[in-house]
Amino acid sequence: MTKVAMIGVGKLGQACAEVIAETYPLVGYDVSPREPKNFPMVGSIKEAVEYGNIIFIAAPTPHDPKYDGSEPTHHLPNKDFDYTIVKDILDQVNEYSDRSKLVVLISTVLPGTVRRELEPLISNARFIYNPYLIAMGTVAWDFVNPEMLMIGTEDGSQTGDAKELLDFYKPMMENDPRYVVGTWDECECIKIFYNTFISAKISLVNMIQDVAEKQGNINVDVVTNALKDSDQRIMGPRYMKAGMGDGGACHPRDNIALRWMGENLGLGYDLFDSIMEAREIQAQNLAEKLVRTGLENVVIIGKAYKPHVEYVAGSYSLLVGHYVEKFGVSVYYDDEYTGDKPPEDLGAAAYLLAHDPETTFLGCLDPDPDKQERDIFPEGSIIIDPWRKCPPIAGCDVIHYGNTRING
């Protein structure tokens, strides 16, 4: 029987392990105390390795905290991820392994890192690189409904270890995902360029939003709706809604790491720096819009990087807030998941709907004026809505950022 060990039971590893434990016997190990729902924790890496036939490693590959994207970064020196934690775990796993063990690394790394630095640490066991396309807040669902599963081997062979892992995943999948088997290097590329494609796409549609604001008489949604339905040359409708910029613990830092890679490979150009600079200028433009309301305070509704999670790493809201403060205006946050609330006596303020109001302030969108949550915004406030979904609010001005049509 296949038995599994999950080394690294944190934000990613715990939710994935809880799903796996519904199908396979599993134990977990982490340096911090954890309370998983349906599997036991063991006290050492040695115990975890001795238990599992397949050993997953879900360890962080952090950047310097200054590079998370919640403040400007494009001016900082290029840096790779920090692989210290992963290397330490691999060394210990190797010490207690033999060829019956399949070691599966799911951490994000730059192309070439596995072949150059990580796989050589596993001399006693077999090794696969298997990164996930997963977002914080929806880890369990994303795990069983992936767009694709990437399985990286030394030579890209679809037999042997790759087939074993494919067979391992299939009973757990709720959709019918693509299974992509490639070399370690190819799967490293797929993972990190997937994230940077999203960053570039968001920067581009938000550029159209900037054009609408500066040119006038443009509703950005008319433009992006036309583009997202153009499926012959432009790929798919996702991330084709102008609004807030890219955020989270992965996407901004992945662009920064790719800057480092491009410099070290001598590519001679830096698309990733341009993406990050565009992200920052777009945040500054939005901050300037808030400050130009002339109100003394700014309240950003939604501090986390996306709705219904507590994670603030790489939050675009924080980046906008950074620029608001640079303009000399006080900024507060309102987010039940992070525990932030503005002062109750703040009075009229400039509000930014940083999270899509359709998923947060549903009362504001009720077509019946008597049912709208009017008490959210003090009278005299100005509401900047980059999603262009908030209806008129009594006693307040609502500005649909990115729609500058003369007739609205």
**Cα–Cα distance between 138 and 15 in angstroms, integer?**
9
Task: Output the pLDDT for position 374.
Answer: 45
In what helix (H) or strand (E) does residue 287 lie, and over which residues does it extend? helix 271-291
Task: Output the pLDDT for position 197.
Answer: 84
pLDDT tens digit sequence for 336-367:
999 999 999 999 999 999 998 887 765 555 55
Low-confidence ranges of the chain (pLDDT < 50): 374
**Cα–Cα distance between 230 and 279 in angstroms, integer?**
24
* Assigned architecture for domain 4-190: 3-Layer(aba) Sandwich (3.40)
Other residues' Cβ atoms within 10 Å of the Cβ of residue 238? 10
pLDDT tens digit sequence for 141-156:
999 999 999 999 999 9
**Cα–Cα distance between 355 and 244 in angstroms, integer?**
8
Residue reference for tokens 């890192």: 113
Task: Output the pLDDT for position 226.
Answer: 93
Considering only the top CATH level, what class is 251-400? alpha beta
Query: Which residue in 115, 91, 121, 82 sits closest to 184, CA to CA?
Result: 115
**Cα–Cα distance between 39 and 42 in angstroms, integer?**
10
Task: Output the pLDDT for position 2.
Answer: 96
Ranges of CATH 3.40.50.720 domains, the chain: 4-190, 251-400
> Edge to edge, what strands does the sheet with 397-400 contain?
330-334, 297-301, 350-353, 382-385, 397-400
In what helix (H) or strand (E) does residue 396 lie, and over which residues does it extend? none
Other residues' Cβ atoms within 10 Å of the Cβ of residue 310? 14
Helix (H, G, I), strand (E, B) or coil at 319: helix
**Cα–Cα distance between 175 and 195 in angstroms, integer?**
21
Sign for the CA dihedral angle at 10, 13, 16, 19 comes to negative
Token reading at 236: 């798919």
Task: Output the pLDDT for position 22.
Answer: 97
Query: Which residue in 319, 404, 408 sits closest to 70, CA to CA?
Result: 319
Q: Is the pTM of this model over 0.85?
A: no
Sign for the CA dihedral angle at 275, 281, 283, 285 comes to negative
Q: How far is CA 4 from the centre of its chain?
A: 27
Token reading at 180: 């992509």
Task: Output the pLDDT for position 247.
Answer: 81
